Structure 1
Amino acid sequence: MILNEDKLNSQLNFVLNKIPFAVLMESYERRLQFVNQNFCQLFHIPLSPEQLIGFDCKLAATQSAPMFSNPTQFLERIDEILTAEEFVSHELVELADGRSFLRDYLPIINEGVHDGHVWIYYDYTEARTMEYHILHLKKFYEQILNHIPADIAVFNKKHQYIFINQTAIRDESLREWLINKDDYDFVKYRGKDSTFAEERREAFNQAISTKKVYEFLEEGINREGAQKFNLRRFQPIFQENGELEFVVGYGIDVTSLKKTEEYARQKDIIFAKVADLLDVVVIVIDHNFQVVFVNAAYESFFGIPTSQIIGKEIEAIAIDDTSIIRKDIVLYQQTNYAHHTAKVYQVKDKYGMTKYFSYSFTPYVQGKAGNVNYAVFLSDVSDQYYAVAELQKIIDKERRLNELKSGFVNIVSHEMRTPMSVIQSSAEILEMLNDADKISKPQLQLHLSRIINEVKGMESLMKELLLVSKIEGGKMVFKPSPQNMSEFIEQVIAANFSPYEDGRQIVLLLKGNEHPVYFDRLMMTHILKNLIENAFKYSSNKKSPIFRLRYHKTGVSILIKDFGIGIPEKDIPNLFKAFARASNVEGIKGTGLGLLVVKYFVDFHKASIHFRSKQNQGTSVLLELKNHDT
């Protein structure tokens, strides 16, 4: 029956438009059924609520995702909530424009069926702003200092740390430990020589005594054991009465500048000229994982000047996953053997075109100092890659054909052997009883019924095999026309499932305003018969399946829900493969071809089909069919 919801909708509209919250209701298929004016105002939607009715909420969410601070997380969280089908209360949502919302979610359950979704949003911006105002004031300057690309520390009169920024010490626990301690404590903690602590103390005292900025160059070793240079300054800050308040210390890493000078002196002119003549991209990396040379092919391909990469660490190379290069270098440093990791990089050239580069690297000794450098070679293998990809497509197609043939042999040998055995057994029994003149009418009827049922089963299998063959051979003609979908469904159910063989009747629900739907009658009959048959077949001794047809502006959606054995999660990706059946259907007849044909026919209609299932709880199949003009 078609439900009249006008009166209920009128009452709901009055109430929901008066509450001070943004409310959106959508159907199970995610079609917008109601939205109040507060929702349009909250999200700056330039349309009225009435104009939004019937919109695809999944598409709308995707289009509006950039409004949120983390679009990907926003969409993934919606999917998690819809999958869980559980109430959600006061979940915080951050927007890209700085606003903060609280969100509630309520699943709509109607007659045991999940019928839709309700979303409620509250503007939490002002409250959240007040909440963070004090923290913002406290951390404002600290955040600025933490993001300055220099080592910054603040000392008290005793040369003890009272603040250290993240650039100076990345380890948060170490930064906290060092507060109210000095460099002598630090070197003792690290087990290092105290020389540099003494030099810093002397520079600190010089800055205080001269009341001026004191600058010095500090040479040291970084965590990787490489030489490091820092230009350090101490700036004393005095109060108006001349008393020292604190001292600001800051340092700038000038290692790259000094190394660039050294690299310029060591650069091999002959190697550079030869490398610049190659079509292969050449990148030279030193033992500290810094780029010391790139050839002309690099700049020609990527459009990036060499000056922007020389002296930088290998992560500056315009390719993804430079960890492969780093791992190969580390492995060579540990084993003194040039292992080679096979890798093909997918990169964009300076024109934005996708290219494929194979990677290789070679260690070599550079200069009189005997330092080991590493030459990385990137060769354009795009033509070979595309050729291999085409070949792989051919191989995959051949593999699928072989799987289809193998599956055909297995299914036929299995599905034919059993019915033939039953037919032969029944025929022999009838022959024996007839010869002995002891055959009775019930015995005759029993064995004839067995023979007829098995013949029908073999006939059904052969029909499905012939149908698959006809589709695969491109001989299936798609003939859609505008038809009354609700009448068609009632006819299919009446002719085949009224009632089902176990006496159950399917529960039919029709919703929305009827309109003609374009579909191929023969194909749609096969689709519905298969899906309804499965709903009954795999829910034996359970309550009757539910069939719901819903009309909406852009087409129709069909939901078939049973309460049977369900489908194991690991089997769902294989549902539309030839001869594939779920792992929990033992003892239930089937060929593994039904859903394959269904998927073919769904694709003919340019429709979509989705399964949602929980083992031992049932399965829901959603078929969405668009209008002809969309």
Structure 2
Amino acid sequence: MDRSYILKNKNNSDLLGLDYAYAYEWCNNSITSYIHHFDVSKRLINAFLSIDTMLSTDKLRFGMGKDIDNKLLKSIFETRDVKSYFFAPIFSDNVLWGWIGLEDCTSERIWEEEEISVLHTIIKSLGIRLSQTATVSKLERTIEKFNFFMSSSNQAMWEFDIETEKTNFSLNWFGILGYTNEEINNIPDFWSRIFSADDMKQIIRDFRDFVSGKVERFEGNTRIIHKKGHAISAKYSGLLKLNKNGVPKKVIGTYMDISELVEKEKQLVLSEAKYRFIAENTTDLICQHSKDGNLVYVSSLSNDVIGYDFEELIHKCPWDFIHKRDLGNIKKYYHSIVKNQQIETITFRFKKNDGSYIWLETATKVMLDSEKNIIGFQTSSRDISKRIKADKEMKAAFLKERMFNELKSNFVSIASHQFRTPLTVIYSNAELLELKINHQEKDLPNDGNVIISRIKNEVERMTELMNNILVFGKQEAKKIEKVIQPIDLNEFIETLTSTYFNKEGGAKIKVVKKGVKKTFFSDESLIVHILTNVINNAFKYSVGKPDPELIISYLKDKIEIQVVDYGLGIPKKDIPNLFTSFFRASNTNSIIGSGLGLVIVKQFTELLNGTVELKTKENFGTTIKLTFPYEHQ
């Protein structure tokens, strides 16, 4: 032959399709090589793809170049000056490995059967050799990996022949016990050297039971003695091999040095004992949660803190016990913990076993595995209900103090203004009266009466202001005591209106009664304060308008008193503040008042278990409705 070459199937599998590549080429002297000629190489590979149907079935193709029927291959042969050719597939483990091509460039060879048979046999042997090489290489890699695994895992193998009662030891025993392979083979009864007498007896009993079939497994933990004299913790196991008749032939087993693992387990047990001691003796409730949040550990303090035995809470979801108003914050807190993986603290309400809620302050720490993946959470919770209550009381005290300070400021401002005005009027009128007396004016009697009337009116205003302030002060100081007694409301209203409001020559209040009169139980003095303030306002803010009305309605289970005026009314923006101390509507600046009347009305009405409703419209008047139960509880 003048030229031989190999094309390899890169896929090396029938399932993946064929993909040929030039792998090797040899040429005789003066014969051109085409392995590096890209165009011819590519065309040759394509030509093979066109005839691989025949060759992939392990059939040969040979003949003279001029007789080839494949146009592409014939063109290549002409370029390569091929006179005769021989193509044969190479199979390795029944997989198409590649092709071999032989070319004669000097003569037109007629292939004889003996040549064809010899070439076919040689090419088949190539496939067998390839398979052997691959198998040996794979086995060497497997043995290398196995030896590496055995040495890195601190394991040593042994093989016991049941018939000869001899044991073969692997090389790794030196790494575990310090004995070389030669020392092991030269020490009679090596097993008794590395075990204590008691351990040896037990292992022999277990081994015999395993070989006889009494037990299914030969495995356990023991202690083996190092060459230097110290003991090593070891784990042993064995596998029984039977002959074709099912008779035990040998046992293959391993011994693994687990000293480090045993030590770590001891440290883990010690750490867990320390953790349990701390968890059970701290005042905080310690819990551990799975990744999905369910409880997997609860310290015994749970009964003291939340009223549940720790066994009741295992595998429960703590979210089921959290107040629904706090769940939104808890979910945000959980996502923050997962994202940041840092210790964070939150407060929330937790439902106890008796149905009541307590405030818990909880710190959460993320638990991670060796690869930094979240495997759970650890929480530490304490009852802070007393602290929350104290904080609320302190805030309420601060708020009350601030309101008191504002009240004092308003009182000083209002009182100074309200006292100054009547005192100025009284003083100026006293001077005027003195001046007229000194000059002995003729019209003194008439003018004196006018001046004296002015002084009386201002004194009455001051008296009203002082009364309201004194009453308000008593109510704020909680010094008002109720005296409940039966009241004939019709007679009471008639006396009240005639005494205080229906004066001759002035405006009068119209009284309307509805329903059948019933006895009304209440505190008469408080009712006087309530009605005088409401009726006084009705007159004060409706000067020049129709007279106010007082409507009494005896209903089935309550009594209703309405005071209606047709005066100034109240601006819409001022209505929310009407029952605030010292507040006055913006359209009453020219009318003298303390800003305490409605506050007293509301406080005293509620003290008598009643309610106050107010309806008003600016420039159209105001209606105040007071409702009281007949019987005071």
Q: TM-score range by the shorter chain?
A: 0.3 to 0.5
Q: Bigger radius of gyration, 1 or 2?
A: 2
More RCO (CA 8 Å, sep 6+)? 1
TM-score (norm 1): 0.47
